Amino acid sequence: MASMATDGVTGWRLAPEDYVGNFADLSPPLTRHEAFVESERCYFCYDAPCVQSCPTGIDIPLFIRQIAKDNAIGAAETILSANIMGGMCARVCPTEQLCEEACVREHAEGKPVRIGSLQRHATDAIMAASAAAGRHPFPRAPETGRSVAVVGAGPAGLSAAHRLALLGHAVTLYDAKPKLGGLNEYGIAAYKTPADFAQAEVDFILGIGNIAVVPGVRLGVGTDLATLRGRHDAVFLGLGLGGVNALAGMEDQRNVVDALSFIEALRQAPDKAAVPVGRRVVVIGGGMTAVDAAVQARRLGAEQVTIAYRRGAADMKASRWEQELAQTNGVVIRHWMTPAGFDSRDGAVTAVRFAHRGADGSAAAEGVAIAADLVLCAIGQSFLAGSLGTGDLALEGGRIRVDAERRTTLPGVWAGGDCVAGGLDLTVSAVEDGKRAAIAIDAHLRATEPVSLLAGAA
């Protein structure tokens, strides 16, 4: 039986019941009374700053007032009409940097209305009601007879698919993975989406109907963009970032892995206790993925977990709330640490070497080594543009260039989410991309002839 102090990489470091608690809901839902009390704190601001700072423009004062007046279902409809993934966003949005940062009560007393928690309260209610009734809350418009391919069933693709179906189009949704949801299913800490919430939300979204799901299809493998363009009236690309940035030398080391693979394995593991983790874990990076990996490593029973980041706290892409979450979970965050190499024994990593540049980054670099039997690299991902083929699709900084309506440079092709240039790399912005693209595609389709007619004419 392993313990937290067992050297090497192993599972079963904790008692079985510890895993249950450690991977339960990070922020439990508000009770009905808590929701009433919290919703009454909202001032129902005019031209509310929180709405301005929501990438999907949810009418936050309205939905909170609906909750306050005992209409959680109406509140959820307000949320979901702007953001069909309101449920997941309530769990993973960095609200402290978006709506709650803008809340006038944050300005007034440093204690914003808990918008994210209230949003979860409402969306949980409608998803439960919808599941119980076996009915999706939004009715589809009359069928247009037009067909749209959506490639990638992450937040952008699911958002686009839902909106397109809502507007009356027939959607075919392609995804490379066996399960839909993208990073919601594979890339987010388990305690943020317990009880298989990601799949419940996928089912809820697909409940609108007229979305044909084709899993296990990767662009460039089995189908390609040209084929999809020929078969559908329009195409939406909601591709993920297929490439994981690597550290020099990591491929030679055993137990140096990319953090996303670690998170994915953890998410998909039926028994969290079986997921192997080191006694001493070093996570390299400073974003949400680094925090998700580090905190979960601790919760799997790692004795020491260190996040090593090459710049300062203010530069970290992980929000302050996330950084504090890591720290309250016993993760040590060290700044100004530039990876310089690995030490190993018998091919397995024993330490990570860094060039450390003092407290504020200005001091001369000195060598620091942190002992590690598991190293998780979270230094970013990259878009693999090769899957697009050699088309006329213009890129920008390695990602797909789109306009305000998420239109690519290729006629009939829209894109959104992580694969496009200039995004925020957030679930909520991906959802907005999908929504905007769908609205633009709808306008385009209503103004043009169906591809089937064109094909027939040819």
Partner 1 sequence: MADLRTDFLGIRSPNPFWLASAPPTDRKTNVLRAFKAGWGGVVWKTLGEEGPPVVNVSGPRYGAIHGPDRRLMGFNNIELITDRPLELNLQEIAEVKKLYPDRALVASIMVPCDEDSWKRILPRVEATGCDGVELNFGCPHGMSERGMGSAVGQVPEYIEMVARWCKAFTRLPVIVKLTPNITDIRHPARAAKRGGADAVSLINTINSIVSVDLDRMAPAPHVDGRGTHGGYCGPAVKPIALSMTSEIARDPETRGMPISAIGGITTWRDAAEFIALGAGTVQVCTAAMTYGFKVVDEMVTGLSTFMDAKGYRTIEDFRGLAVPNVTDWQYLNLNYVAKARIDQDLCISCGRCHIACEDTSHQAITATVDGRRRFVVKDDECVGCNLCVEICPVENCITLEHRTVGTDPRTGQPYAQPYANWTQHPNNPASSAGRAAE
Q: Does 446 bind partner 1 (CB under 8 A)?
A: no
Hey, what are 193's tokens? 């989406």
Which window, 13-21, 40-48, 302-310, 345-353, contacts partner 1 (CB under 8 A)?
40-48
Which window, 6-14, 103-111, 131-139, 258-266, contacts partner 1 (CB under 8 A)?
103-111
Question: Do the Cβ atoms of 385 and 394 come closer than 8 Å?
Answer: no
Which window, 91-99, 105-113, 140-148, 236-244, contacts partner 1 (CB under 8 A)?
105-113
Among positions 48, 51, 160, 376, the unique one binding partner 1 when judged by CB under 8 A = 48
Q: Does 200 bind partner 1 (CB under 8 A)?
A: no
CA-CA distance, 133 to 310, in Å (whole number)? 51
Question: Which residues are paired to 223 by β-bridges?
Answer: 219
Q: Does 27 bind partner 1 (CB under 8 A)?
A: no
- In the bound state with partner 1, the residue whose beta carbon lies nearer, of 69 and 446, is 69
CB of 64 to partner 1, least distance (A): 13
Question: Do the Cβ atoms of 168 and 447 come closer than 8 Å?
Answer: no
- In the bound state with partner 1, the residue whose beta carbon lies nearer, of 44 and 143, is 44
Among positions 45, 73, 244, 365, the unique one binding partner 1 when judged by CB under 8 A = 45
Q: Which among 196, 189, 271, 259 is positioned nearest to 19, based on CA atoms?
A: 271
Q: Does 129 bind partner 1 (CB under 8 A)?
A: no
- 387 CB-near residues (< 8 Å, 6+ apart): 218, 219, 220, 239, 242
CA-CA distance, 213 to 207, in Å (whole number)? 12
- 312 CB-near residues (< 8 Å, 6+ apart): 335, 336, 360, 361
Question: Do the Cβ atoms of 396 and 408 come closer than 8 Å?
Answer: no
Beta strand 211-215 with 170-175 is parallel
Beta strand 381-382 with 243-244 is antiparallel
CB of 68 to partner 1, least distance (A): 8
Q: Does 44 bind partner 1 (CB under 8 A)?
A: yes
Among positions 11, 29, 49, 276, the unique one binding partner 1 when judged by CB under 8 A = 49
Give the Cα-Cα-Cα angle 314, 292, 189 (nearest 5 degrees).
140
Restricting to residues 344-363, name those near partner 1 by CB under 8 A: none
- In the bound state with partner 1, the residue whose beta carbon lies nearer, of 69 and 345, is 69
CB of 79 to partner 1, least distance (A): 21
* Phi–psi pair at 435, nearest 5 degrees: -65, -50
Which window, 30-38, 89-97, 160-168, 314-322, contacts partner 1 (CB under 8 A)?
30-38
Q: Does 46 bind partner 1 (CB under 8 A)?
A: yes
CB of 70 to partner 1, least distance (A): 11
Q: Does 43 bind partner 1 (CB under 8 A)?
A: yes
Question: Do the Cβ atoms of 308 and 283 come closer than 8 Å?
Answer: yes
Q: Does 178 bind partner 1 (CB under 8 A)?
A: no
3-state helix, strand, coil in the chain (%, to 5): 40, 20, 40
- In the bound state with partner 1, the residue whose beta carbon lies nearer, of 114 and 356, is 114
CB of 113 to partner 1, least distance (A): 11
Q: Does 53 bind partner 1 (CB under 8 A)?
A: no
CA-CA distance, 179 to 157, in Å (whole number)? 13
Q: Does 104 bind partner 1 (CB under 8 A)?
A: yes
Q: Which residues make up the interface to partner 1 (CB under 8 A)?
A: 33, 36-37, 40-41, 43-49, 104-105, 107-108
